[in-house]
Amino acid sequence: MVNVAILGFGTVGSGVAQVLAENSAEIAAGAGEAVQMKYIVDVRDFPDSPFGKLVTHDFAVVEQDPEVQVVVETIGGCGVALAFTRRALEAGKHVVTSNKQLVAEHGRELLALAKEKGVNYFFEASVGGGIPLLRPLFNDLSGNKILAIKGIVNGTTNYILTAMQNRELELDAALKEAQALGYAEANPESDMNGMDAVRKACILANLSWGRELKPEQVSVIGIQNVQLQDVRNAQAAGGALKLLAWLSKADDGQIYAFVEPHVVMGSSMLCHVDEAYNAVIITGNAVGDALFFGTGAGSIPTASAVVGDVVDAVRHLSAPRGIGWTEEPVLLGDPDTLVSRWYLRSGSEYTVTEPCSASQLPPAEVRYRVLD
Amino acid sequence: MVNVAILGFGTVGSGVAQVLAENSAEIAAGAGEAVQMKYIVDVRDFPDSPFGKLVTHDFAVVEQDPEVQVVVETIGGCGVALAFTRRALEAGKHVVTSNKQLVAEHGRELLALAKEKGVNYFFEASVGGGIPLLRPLFNDLSGNKILAIKGIVNGTTNYILTAMQNRELELDAALKEAQALGYAEANPESDMNGMDAVRKACILANLSWGRELKPEQVSVIGIQNVQLQDVRNAQAAGGALKLLAWLSKADDGQIYAFVEPHVVMGSSMLCHVDEAYNAVIITGNAVGDALFFGTGAGSIPTASAVVGDVVDAVRHLSAPRGIGWTEEPVLLGDPDTLVSRWYLRSGSEYTVTEPCSASQLPPAEVRYRVLD
């Protein structure tokens, strides 16, 4: 039997507790042994939760208990989460997380520490929520040179753009609706300005190409200024407006990385990804295009990915997977030199261009790349 | 360094050799050590191939060489492939295959033998070609109760149905085109009658629920009798005609398993899967719906999955994954009791019903389930 501690009993942490309890038979079958929750670490108490008696306020209890072999970090952010993750790894415990900010900003250091200590640091839930994505990338597709990754990795903005398209809502109204339904947080800034997608893009790039892409190296345009008329025009042109994360590696080794609204044409599967769903296309030189689609957020779907990591950690207690990336900087290409078709609008007039680079474009009030 | 032997140098086997050679750096990084092709076993010689000097006609050379730790079986069928797989496993070698017929008909026995010998028997390429699908199912989604799996798992029939839809071809003309382009074999029987999809459905069911579903237990309607008017009507109704493999598990433990043409509505991602692509939706009680899409056949995409299995086998030379299923029969449900909407046609008149079971339907010349 393996004992697990959950750090942070919020949306994701409580989902992990629920899935560990409800699917214990499947989890034991997958892991090869029973997985038991021993502690939940949180500053609050949860007297009404069926797991309330597991709560402790003191991380040191977990840190010093040799029976705890796997720690689930669902605190979020880079404060306490970073400190506790370091201490758990130092104590020789495997750590599993859904914390994309921590992985994007400190993943290299934490993976190196995990390697040094002979344990796993897994973060499947940090990109694409419940969708199996990172493990297929570094396991199933390990016989490929990864050429490109393109995807819808932020469910909040996809919900908003879908609402604008299907129900003719202005951006502000769609955002308010997303907040009312729990698809957007009270402070939606990192979703709206694309930073959340940037962090996920960095994690994907780091795993694909082994060098550290930093969030500040990713060119970003959020959806804050998207107008209803652009959403309408995209649909009239046979597509849909989507916020895409784009990563590609050229033959010369240069990496192109940006997050921007795109007009995605109906011939692409990504055009049909609506509501809060996520989808990512990984292009490998052997597999061609492989697409992964599903629920990119939410308590229980995200917990599915976290628990999948727990199972894999238990299966590899003494043989860690050894993923990671180096400090060596990426060779960064200039996105403006990448050839694509473009959506251009000035006033109420729009056009879709032939393939060209950004420097060849005429002036326009709005310009978005087109994905065919 | 790990030595590999490839059995059968046909479409898939030659692709595996090419990918192992071309992506050797990525493969070594993923596997943690170099992977080298030592032998290719085939009855023929390949003097013009860059790998021609590795060819031997005698499997016993592989069997008796202790340096060969991983054997790739890409012979196909249940004759020599079965005999060589048994002998390789008996000799303590890990075996990786793309052979869906062998896995569907003899997988349980071969997995039990692999377990007994402490080695892996992997078959990611047997369903969905290059698409990462089986490993995500038994690794990433191991924290889920699997509720249902629905998918397009035969690229030949999907190519034919897409050609009929987009270019108004009759079935025979579309089949001939698929054969001319290499999407269908000279003898397309097992594609057209749905048996290929049945085998893949069995593999998915066995991995999901741990009991053996036999091909003869799967109710099957192929596309042999699909008429152009039904393809047209499906499109007019806002969908597309697709051959789907359907698996679901009810609360009482009963398994429903069938392969039938469906009218898939535009609200489902499966409606947008065209040409020879495959896509499978796995529904888990935690993850919800997760969809996996990509190239379901072809030399190099299939090789991508085979090589991914080789890498995973190398990573687990002394700690096999231990997947498998028991001989215990599944509780088989009657598909006719499953409620769905239906497409009914008599003469040139068609209708789409409200949700009901098959027994509640009026007589009709053609009836297909509707997937919303």
Q: What's the CATH code of the domain at A253? A: 3.30.360.10
- Check whether A155 has a pLDDT greater than 90: yes
Give CA–CA dist A70/A73, Å, rounded: 10
Q: Are residues B275 and B302 in the same domain?
A: no
Q: What is the DSSP string of B99-113?
A: -HHHHHHHHHHHHHH
Determine, yes or no, domain membership for A333. no
Give tens-digit pLDDT for A285-307. 999 999 999 999 899 999 999 99
Write down the pLDDT at residue A261: 98
Write down the pLDDT at residue B146: 98
The mean of the pLDDT values for chain B is: 97
Q: Are residues A202 and A102 in the same domain?
A: no
Position B343, amino acid: Y
CB atoms A142 and B210 under 8 Å = no
CB interface of B with A, residues 308-367, below 8 Å: 308, 310-312, 315, 319, 321-322
pLDDT band at B321 (very low <50, low <70, confident <90, very high): confident
Write down the pLDDT at residue A319: 84
Query: Given CB atoms, is B142 within the 8 Å cutoff of chain A?
Result: yes
Q: What is the DSSP string of B141-176?
A: TTTS-EEEEEEE--HHHHHHHHHHHHH---HHHHHH
Least confident among A167-176, A319-328, B189-198, B340-349: A319-328
Q: Are residues A24 and A98 in the same domain?
A: yes
Residue A163: how many CA atoms within 13 Å on its side-chain side? 21
Domain that holds residue B150: 141-295+339-371
Q: Are residues B286 and B306 in the same domain?
A: no
CB atoms B288 and A301 under 8 Å = yes
Q: What is the DSSP string of B204-216?
A: HHHHHHSEEPPGG
Active-site annotation holds for B93: no
- Check whether B304 has a pLDDT greater than 90: yes
Domain count across chain A: 2
- Cα angle vertex B199, ends B196, B201, to 5°? 110
- The alpha-carbon gap from B176 to the nearest alpha carbon of chain A, in Å, equals 25
Query: Given CB atoms, is A145 within the 8 Å cutoff of chain B?
Result: yes
Determine, yes or no, domain membership for B135. no
Residues contacting B179, CB < 8 A, separation 6+: B185, B186, B188
- Check whether A171 has a pLDDT greater than 90: yes
Instruction: Compare CB distances from B144 to A26, A289, A290 and report the shortest one's residue.
Output: A26
- Between the alpha carbon of residue B170 and those of residues A308, A318, B190, B231, B349, the distances in Å are 46, 58, 20, 10, 19
A364 φ/ψ angles, rounded to the nearest 5 degrees: -160, 155
pLDDT band at A152 (very low <50, low <70, confident <90, very high): very high
Give tens-digit pLDDT for B214-254. 999 999 999 999 999 999 999 999 999 999 999 999 999 99
CB atoms B26 and A145 under 8 Å = yes
Give tens-digit pLDDT for A9-29. 999 999 999 999 999 999 999
Determine, yes or no, domain membership for B225. yes
Q: Are residues A212 and A323 in the same domain?
A: no
| Helices and strands (H and E) in chain B: how many | 12, 17
Q: What is the pTM of this model?
A: 0.97
Out of B38, B100, B150, B200, pick the active-site residue. B200
Q: How many residues does chain A have?
A: 372
B365 φ/ψ angles, rounded to the nearest 5 degrees: -70, -40
Residues contacting B301, CB < 8 A, separation 6+: A286, A287, A288, B129, B130, B294, B295
Determine, yes or no, domain membership for B199. yes
Q: Are residues B156 and B256 in the same domain?
A: yes
CB atoms B319 and A319 under 8 Å = yes
Q: Which residue of A has its CA nearest to B320?
A: A315
Give tens-digit pLDDT for A314-370. 999 998 888 999 999 999 999 999 999 999 999 999 999 999 999 999 999 999 999
Instruction: Compare CB distances from B301 to A132, A287, A305 and report the shortest one's residue.
Output: A287
Contact between B258 and B280 (Cβ < 8 Å): no
Contact between B322 and B115 (Cβ < 8 Å): yes
Write down the pLDDT at residue B319: 84
Write down the pLDDT at residue B320: 87
Determine, yes or no, domain membership for A334. no
Place of tokens 């509505």: B265
Write down the pLDDT at residue B64: 98
The mean of the pLDDT values for chain A is: 97
Q: Are residues A148 and A117 in the same domain?
A: no
Select from B139, B146, B211 the residue whose CB has the most chain A CBs within 10 Å, as the one to mutate to test that interface: B139
- B116-145 mean pLDDT: 97
Determine, yes or no, domain membership for B266. yes
Q: Are residues B318 and B284 in the same domain?
A: no
| Tokens at A321, concatenated | 């997977």
Select from A20, A33, A139 the residue whose CB has the most chain B CBs within 10 Å, as the one to mutate to test that interface: A139
CATH number at residue A95: 3.40.50.720
Determine, yes or no, domain membership for B136. no
- Check whether B322 has a pLDDT greater than 90: no
pLDDT band at A247 (very low <50, low <70, confident <90, very high): very high
Determine, yes or no, domain membership for B251. yes
| End-to-end Cα separation, chain B, in angstroms | 50
* B114-117, long-range: CB < 8 A, 24+ apart: B114/B89, B114/B320, B115/B320, B115/B322, B115/B324, B117/B89, B117/B90, B117/B92
